[in-house]
């Protein structure tokens, strides 16, 4: 079966006369070939001549064709789809998901015709369903499985009639959300669980513990704890909302960005390294955050506490972006294929999950009363936690070294030196009776110098990244290399990683670098590609989007046995070996 036209066919085309063409009658000759089909197709051809009139003022050609018939044909030209369209490939079925914007009472039928051959099985029945305002078409997939599909979707509406829509959409591995495997509510639950897990990630835990220690130190009234919990949550929600809107704006502008995209900017990484160092110095007692250089009243101090709590929530989100917790990948991949409102809703699920531990302490006063009393042990705990922050700063500098050249790396260390000197100077200013203002000025100068140095950092123009945990089997990822290996019939294992992703680095160390995994790859003749997303790479971003993911880590096996197989975000050697054994 193939697709064609029936009845009278008009194919509108625009012709423009060159200025050299004389005004008046012009005769144009044409040679055409076509197929006339019923049970069989008969090739036909013919020569034609048409007399055209050239308009002197507008330089336009008038064909003299039936104007009403031409207008009717032009009205039937497929229009741009007014709603998002995504294809999900689960191996045997290509599931088209369009909408929201469909009313089940008025949609009589729908059918999709692809531009290319082999995309779908043309003769197979296309099953239609309407769910939550979305149009779902279940189509038997053909042998050609690309990363994008173009064609025409024809929708029959009992009120407005038959309308065609131009479709140009990416293909994501998995099932459509309307199939019941993923809805906005399930995505929000997954996002909440992922946000909850973020609290114990190495990049977030020190910030959360600092906030809890503040409550334990002050033992404030229950209403103060409740207020702080709500303000902390508000800071997290604000940051996640801003992040979601920024992602939507950048993607609408054609930028290839995903979760953690800001860590691909050396300036942001350098700034975070300085922040972690300064927070660590504060816990070590070098200076006190919020200490006043000149006296302030009690009212202003209380206000500073509220704003400090609010910005602590924002800081928790900033340091959380390098991490992708379990459940987050599926939720974010779903969110960024939906409408802006649904995308922001899923991000708010993440926000509530991240804020939940401290929020529950504030809303249930008995929990805060159960916290231990402050003492010398608390001071020692703060000093121990400082080394976790120093480690986070060192890790961020290591990430930065992967992104910049040696000169910029040296500048980054100079920026850290200035930040440390600023913290030390500020501590002296807060404790000194004499020269307080002078030390404060020195600290401010050091801060400005540190920020200036960090702001001058620029990424390397050529990505020459390598990882010490990756063996000789790994090749750099490219879509061309992936297509070449698949054309050879070889299965391919691709892992998407980044130097700023702690989960990725742990997985590399405990799973991918193990000898038994390398042996399994060799035994099954599996090609091994590493997609390093440390710096911005639109090709890798597009490949992640095709898999329905917008962050790392992602582990996927391509074979000729259907759609790509995605592995969990936390992997073990046995998981990888078992997946390879199923090829």
Residue 47 has pLDDT above 80, yes or no: yes
Residue 537 near residue 465, CB atoms below 8 Å: no
Q: Is residue 484 part of a domain?
A: yes
Over 80: is that where the pLDDT of 563 sits?
no
d(CA 560, CA 554): 20
DSSP states along 182-249: --HHHHHHHHHHHHHHHTTSTTTHHHHHHHHHHHHHH---HHHHHHHHHHHHHHHHHHHHHHHHHHHH
pLDDT at 469: 40
Integer Cα distance of 278 and 337 in angstroms: 38
Q: What does the pLDDT average to over 61-70? A: 67
pLDDT tens digits for range 307-350: 778 888 888 887 776 666 666 766 776 666 567 888 888 889 98
Residue 314 has a pLDDT of 86
What is residue 470's predicted lDDT score, i.e. its pLDDT? 39
What is the per-residue pLDDT for 289? 59
- Residue at 275 is within a domain: yes
Q: Are residues 59 and 115 in the same domain?
A: no
Output the six-digit token pair for 350: 């993440």
The strand pairing partners of 171, in sequence order, are 87
- For residues 292 and 221, membership in a common domain is answered with yes
Let me know whether 374 and 300 are in one domain: yes
Q: Does 437 share its domain with 372? A: yes
pLDDT band for position 220 (cuts 50, 70, 90) = low
Token digits of residue 168 = 């140009």
288 and 389 in a single domain? The answer is yes
For 355-402, write each residue's pLDDT tens digit: 898 888 778 867 666 666 666 767 777 788 788 778 888 888 888 888
- Write down the pLDDT at residue 468: 37
Query: What per-residue confidence (pLDDT) applies to 219?
Result: 59
Polymer length in residues for the chain: 583
Do β-strands 554-558 and 565-567 pair in parallel, antiparallel, or remain unpaired? antiparallel
CB count within 10 Å of CB 19 equals 5
* Average pLDDT of the segment spanning 528-549: 85
Question: Is residue 228 included in any domain, yes or no?
Answer: yes
**SS3 letters for 106-171?**
CEEEEEEEECCCCCECCCCCCEEEEECCEEEEEEEECCCCCCEEEEEEEEEECCCEEEEEEEEEEE
* CATH number of the domain within which 487 lies: 3.40.30.10
DSSP state of 16: B
Compute how many other C-beta atoms are within 10 angstroms of the C-beta atom of residue 554: 25
**Residue 466 lies inside a defined structural domain of this protein:** no
Domain extent, residue 110, equals 79-179
469 in any annotated domain: no
Q: Where are the beta strands (DSSP E) in 347-491?
A: 474-476
467 domain-assigned:
no
Phi, psi dihedrals of residue 26, rounded to the nearest 5°: -130, 135
24 bridge partner residues: 54
Average pLDDT over residues 515-526: 89
> What are 163-181's pLDDT values in tens digits?
899 988 878 765 555 444 5
The DSSP H or E segment spanning 149 is strand 148-157
d(CA 194, CA 329) in angstroms, rounded, equals 9
Q: Are residues 428 and 485 in the same domain?
A: no
Provide the pLDDT for residue 237.
93
Between CA 240 and CA 228 the distance in angstroms is 18
Distance set, CA 411 to CA 89, 402, 454 (Å): 47, 14, 8
**Dihedral sign for Cα atoms in the order 192, 196, 202, 204:** positive
For the cut 70, the answer to whether the pLDDT of residue 214 exceeds it is no
With a cut of 90, say whether residue 258 has pLDDT above it.
no
DSSP summary character for residue 511:
I
Say yes or no: 150 and 213 in one domain.
no
Domain boundary residue, one of 455, 485, 508 = 455
Query: Is the pLDDT confidence value at 403 over 90?
Result: no
pLDDT of the residue at 477: 92
Residue 186 in this model has a pLDDT that exceeds 90: no
Query: Is there a contact between 107 and 155 (Cβ–Cβ < 8 Å)?
Result: yes
Question: Which is more confidently placed, 192 or 175?
Answer: 192
Q: Is 479 helix (H, G, I), strand (E, B) or coil?
A: helix
What is the pLDDT, as a whole number, of residue 302?
Answer: 36
In this predicted structure, the answer to whether residue 241 has a pLDDT above a threshold of 80 is: yes
36 band by pLDDT with thresholds 50, 70 and 90: confident
* Across 280-295, average pLDDT: 63
194 neighbors 348 (Cβ within 8 angstroms): no
Strand 93-98 to 134-140 pairing: antiparallel
Q: Using one digit for the tens of pLDDT, what is the confidence trace for 434-474?
A: 677 787 788 888 888 888 888 888 776 544 333 334 345 68
Does the structure show a pLDDT above 80 at 208?
A: no
Domain count, the chain: 4
Q: What is the pLDDT of residue 530?
A: 92
Tell me which of 152-161, 288-297, 339-348, 550-559 is least confident.
288-297
Residue identified by tokens 């913290």 is: 423
CA nearest to 303, candidates 368, 234, 231 = 231
Q: Which H or E run includes 514? A: none
Q: Mean per-residue pLDDT for 43-47? A: 91
Q: Which two tokens stand for residue 137?
A: 């078409």
Q: 3-state class of 285 per DSSP? A: coil
d(CA 499, CA 233): 29
Domain boundary among 75, 102, 119: 75
Regarding whether 308 and 376 lie in a shared domain, the answer is yes
Q: What's residue 322's pLDDT?
A: 61
Q: How confident is the model at residue 480 (pLDDT cuts 50, 70, 90)?
A: confident
% of the chain residues with pLDDT over 70: 80
Q: What is the mean pLDDT of the chain?
A: 78
Q: Who's near 106: CB < 8 A, 6+ residues apart?
A: 157, 158, 159
* Final residue in a domain of this structure, among 55, 75, 95: 75
Q: What is the pLDDT of residue 58?
A: 54
Helical (H) or strand (E) element with 39: none
Taking phi over 0 as left and psi of -120 to 50 as alpha, with beta for the rest, 24 belongs to left
Q: CB neighbours of 413 closer than 8 A, spacing ≥ 6? A: 397
467-482 residues labelled b (16+ CB within 10 A) or e (exposed): bebbeebbbebeeeeb
SS3 at position 334: helix
* 60: three-class secondary structure by DSSP: strand
Q: How far is CA 72 from its chain centroid? A: 43
Beta bridge partners, 42, equal: 36
Return d(Cα 285, Cα 434) in angstroms, integer: 20
pLDDT over 90, % of the chain: 7
Please, how many CA atoms are within 13 Å of residue 575, restricted to the half-sphere of its CB?
16
User: What are 88-146's pLDDT values in tens digits?
Assistant: 876 677 888 888 888 777 788 899 999 878 888 888 888 888 877 788 888 888 777 66
Q: Do residues 553 and 569 lie in contact, with contact meaning Cβ atoms separated by under 8 Å? A: yes
- Shared-domain flag, residues 132 and 222: no
In a domain, 297, yes or no: yes
121 and 237 inside one domain: no
Surface-to-core class of residue 229, CB atoms within 10 Å of its CB (0-12 exposed, 13-18 middle, 19+ buried)? buried
Whether the per-residue pLDDT at 295 is higher than 80: the answer is no
Question: Of 14, 86, 33, nearest to 333 (Cα)?
Answer: 86
Distance of CA 414 to the CA centre of its chain: 33
Question: Which pLDDT belongs to residue 165?
Answer: 92
pLDDT of res. 379: 75
Query: CA-CA distance, 35 to 344, in Å (whole number)?
Result: 50
Cβ–Cβ < 8 Å for 332, 551: yes
Mean pLDDT score, 272-292: 75
Looking at the structure, tell me whether residues 170 and 215 fall in a common domain. no
Assign 3-state DSSP to the chain and report helix, strand, coil percentages, each to 5: 45, 20, 35
Q: Token pair 């599909």 is at which residue?
A: 149
Residue 399 forms part of a structural domain: yes
The reply to whether 159 and 205 lie within a common domain is: no
């Amino acid at each position: 079966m193939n697709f064609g036209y029936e009845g009278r066919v008009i194919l509108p085309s625009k012709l423009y006369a060159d200025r050299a063409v004389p005004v008046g009658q012009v005769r144009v000759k044409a040679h055409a070939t076509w197929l006339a089909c019923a049970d069989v197709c008969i090739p036909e051809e013919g020569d034609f001549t048409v007399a055209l009139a050239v308009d002197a003022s507008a330089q336009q050609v008038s064909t003299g064709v039936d104007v009403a018939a031409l207008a009717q044909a032009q009205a039937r030209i497929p229009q741009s789809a007014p709603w998002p369209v995504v294809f999900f490939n689960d191996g045997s079925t290509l599931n088209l998901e369009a909408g929201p914007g469909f009313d089940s009472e008025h949609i009589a039928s729908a059918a999709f015709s692809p531009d290319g051959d082999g995309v779908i099985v043309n003769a197979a029945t296309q099953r239609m369903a309407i769910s939550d305002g979305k149009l779902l078409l279940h189509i038997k997939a053909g042998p050609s499985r690309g990363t994008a599909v173009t064609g025409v979707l024809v929708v029959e509406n009992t009120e407005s009639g038959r309308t065609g829509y131009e479709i140009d959409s990416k293909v994501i591995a998995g099932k459509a959300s309307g199939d019941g495997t993923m809805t906005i509510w399930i995505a929000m639950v997954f996002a909440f669980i992922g946000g909850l897990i973020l609290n114990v990630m190495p990049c977030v835990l020190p910030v959360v513990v600092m906030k809890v220690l503040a409550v334990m130190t002050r033992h404030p009234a229950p209403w103060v704890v409740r207020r702080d919990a709500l303000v902390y949550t508000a800071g997290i929600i604000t940051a996640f909302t801003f992040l979601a809107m920024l992602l939507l704006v950048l993607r609408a502008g054609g930028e290839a960005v995903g979760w953690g995209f800001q860590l691909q900017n050396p300036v942001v990484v350098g700034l975070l390294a300085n922040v972690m160092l300064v927070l660590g110095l504060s816990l070590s007692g070098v200076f006190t955050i919020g200490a006043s250089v000149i006296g302030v009243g009690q009212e202003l101090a209380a206000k500073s506490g509220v704003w400090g709590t609010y910005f602590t929530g924002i800081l928790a989100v900033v340091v959380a972006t390098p991490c992708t917790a379990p459940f987050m990948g599926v939720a974010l991949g779903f969110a960024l294929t939906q409408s802006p409102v649904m995308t922001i809703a899923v991000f708010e699920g993440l926000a509530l999950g991240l804020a939940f531990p401290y929020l529950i302490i504030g809303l249930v006063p008995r929990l805060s009363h159960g916290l231990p009393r402050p003492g010398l042990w608390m001071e020692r705990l703060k000093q121990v936690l400082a080394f976790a922050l120093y480690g986070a700063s060192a890790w961020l500098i290591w990430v930065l070294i992967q992104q910049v050249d040696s000169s910029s790396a040296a500048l980054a260390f100079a920026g850290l030196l200035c930040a440390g000197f600023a913290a030390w100077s500020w501590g002296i200013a807060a404790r000194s009776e004499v020269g307080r203002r002078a030390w404060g000025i020195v600290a401010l100068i050091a801060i400005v110098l540190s920020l200036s140095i960090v702001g001058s950092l620029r990424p390397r123009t050529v990505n020459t990244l390598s990882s010490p945990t990756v063996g000789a089997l790994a090749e750099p990822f490219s879509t061309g290399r992936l297509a070449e290996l698949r054309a050879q019939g070889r299965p391919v294992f691709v892992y998407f990683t980044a130097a700023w992703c702690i989960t990725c680095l742990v997985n590399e160390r405990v799973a991918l670098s193990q000898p038994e995994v390398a042996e399994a790859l060799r035994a099954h003749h599996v090609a091994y590609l590493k997609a390093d997303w440390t710096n911005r790479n639109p090709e890798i971003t597009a490949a992640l989007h095709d898999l329905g993911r917008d962050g790392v880590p992602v582990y996927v096996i391509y074979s000729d046995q259907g759609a790509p197989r995605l592995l969990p975000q936390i992997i073990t050697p046995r998981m990888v070996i078992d997946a390879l054994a199923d090829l």
